[in-house]
Amino acid sequence: MQDKIRYGILSTASTVKRFVNAMEETGTGTVTAIASRTKERAEEAAAAFGIPGAYGDYHELLNDPEIDAVYIPVINSLHYAYARDALLAGKHVVMEKPFVLHAEQAKELFELAASRNLFLTEAIKTPFLPVYAYVLEQIEERNLGAIRFMEFHQSYVGGSYIAGWNRQKEFGGGVLIANEAYFFRMAEFFGGKIVSCHGEASFGESGVEEQITLSVRLENNCLASLGVSTNILFDNDLKIYLDNARIVVPDFWKADHAMIYENGILTAEESFPCTYEFRYELSHYNDCIRSGLCSSPVNSPERAIRYIGICEELYKTWGR
């Protein structure tokens, strides 16, 4: 392997700029090519983001022997097919969330990756963010007690999440599948494994869910809730309620700031500025690849498979 792991990107999605810059910040990887459905779009993106190579076909990129790994941020319904093609082409894979749309697809992909000694992961950045290590440290050092309840809120009334394919079920649209990974992963980060999950959804004219509310019980005997809406704006944050304190983490899915309140008084506050928050998870994935691992011990195959399975059960209860 070269000094840096060489990545190709399938798609010119909105995450590409952040991915490219974050990868360069790791110092252990670099993006050498990008592919789109047309050569013109690929060349435009390559010029804009300083990427050397451009392909007008995804499979041309996958067949490039100078690429070690691929990042896949295509529309949700295409994740499985392109991840499978990438693995068969001998590439390591970092897959944008949601990993796939069905648990059986996830099982198949992880088995394929292991059989070919290739790395495969779902890109969930939250457990790698420095702010969460700080929160755990403060809980212990300040004797804040046990976590009893967590509230997660995420909302948006503009942008790509409320337009285009995100409004079409056949393409994997809807706010559940778009947001489950961060919620499930961080609920388990603080509260242990999910024991049960229940939820409700409201649906728009297109047939996909526009709002959801989920409730989970965790093995550490605490509860967590998630509210997501594309109709109204919440205070987008995570609130953690402990025996002796309340912790607030704004924009929990990309957090760089936390505040601790004891008896209603702000007693601690810390910020961890970072322009491209992908860098922390990407450093970990590059280390995994260099170590010959087929999966991440932090974002494990078991979690990805189980989280998608929970989503499938929720869709069944909603008759979808």
Q: Is 309 inside any structural domain?
A: no
Sign of CA dihedral 251, 97, 93, 299: positive
How far is 312 from 123, CA to CA, in rounded Å? 20
CA trace torsion 44, 50, 53, 56 (10° rounding): -20
**This prediction's pTM:** 0.95
The torsion angles phi and psi of 148, rounded to 5 degrees, stand at: -105, -35
How far is 190 from 309, CA to CA, in rounded Å? 21
Amino acid 167: pLDDT: 74
Q: Is 304 inside any structural domain?
A: no
- Strand pairing of 209-218 and 194-203? antiparallel
CA trace torsion 45, 49, 51, 56 (10° rounding): -10
* Encoded tokens for 141: 């050092």
- Based on the domain organization, do 57 and 133 belong to the same domain? no
- Based on the domain organization, do 224 and 270 belong to the same domain? yes
Amino acid 320: pLDDT: 80
Amino acid 178: pLDDT: 85
Chain length of the chain: 320
* Residue in 71, 123, 119 with CA at minimum distance from that of residue 289: 119
- Based on the domain organization, do 142 and 222 belong to the same domain? yes
CB of 71 within 8 A of CB of 51? no
| Burial tier of 72 (Cβ tally within 10 Å: 0-12, 13-18, 19+) | buried
Q: State the CATH number of the domain containing residue 159.
A: 3.30.360.10
Give me the tens of pLDDT residue by residue for the chain, a chain 320 residues long: 568 999 999 999 889 999 999 999 999 999 999 999 999 999 999 999 999 999 999 999 999 999 999 999 999 999 999 999 999 999 999 999 999 999 999 999 999 999 999 999 999 999 999 999 999 999 999 999 999 999 999 998 876 666 676 777 878 888 999 888 999 999 999 999 999 999 999 998 888 899 999 999 999 999 999 999 999 999 999 999 999 999 999 999 999 999 999 999 999 999 999 999 999 999 999 999 999 999 999 999 999 999 999 999 999 999 88
How far is 131 from 135, CA to CA, in rounded Å? 6
Domain boundary among 94, 125, 156: 125
Q: Is 158 inside any structural domain?
A: yes
Other CB atoms closer than 10 Å to residue 216's CB: what's the count?
23
* Residue in 117, 120, 115 with CA at minimum distance from that of residue 99: 120
Amino acid 172: pLDDT: 82
Q: Is 121 inside any structural domain?
A: yes
- Based on the domain organization, do 144 and 265 belong to the same domain? yes
* Residue in 289, 299, 297 with CA at minimum distance from that of residue 26: 289
CB of 270 within 8 A of CB of 260? no
- Based on the domain organization, do 138 and 266 belong to the same domain? yes
- Based on the domain organization, do 107 and 139 belong to the same domain? no
Position 162, amino acid:
I
Number of domains in the chain: 2
- Based on the domain organization, do 21 and 77 belong to the same domain? yes
107 is catalytic: no
Q: Is 298 inside any structural domain?
A: no
Amino acid 160: pLDDT: 65
How far does Cα 82 stand from its chain's mean position? 17
Q: State the CATH number of the domain containing residue 86.
A: 3.40.50.720
Q: Which of 4, 39, 97, 254 is catalytic?
A: 97
- Strand pairing of 92-96 and 29-35? unpaired
- Based on the domain organization, do 40 and 115 belong to the same domain? yes
CB of 181 within 8 A of CB of 189? no
* Encoded tokens for 146: 């046990």
- Strand pairing of 69-72 and 5-10? parallel
- Based on the domain organization, do 185 and 81 belong to the same domain? no
Domain boundary among 125, 142, 158: 125
- Strand pairing of 92-96 and 120-123? parallel
- Based on the domain organization, do 120 and 209 belong to the same domain? no
Range of the domain at 261: 127-276
* Encoded tokens for 299: 């974002």
- Based on the domain organization, do 108 and 159 belong to the same domain? no
- Strand pairing of 147-155 and 223-229? parallel
Domain boundary among 61, 94, 125: 125
Q: Is 303 inside any structural domain?
A: no
* Encoded tokens for 120: 């495969």
Place of tokens 């991440």: 296
- Based on the domain organization, do 155 and 263 belong to the same domain? yes
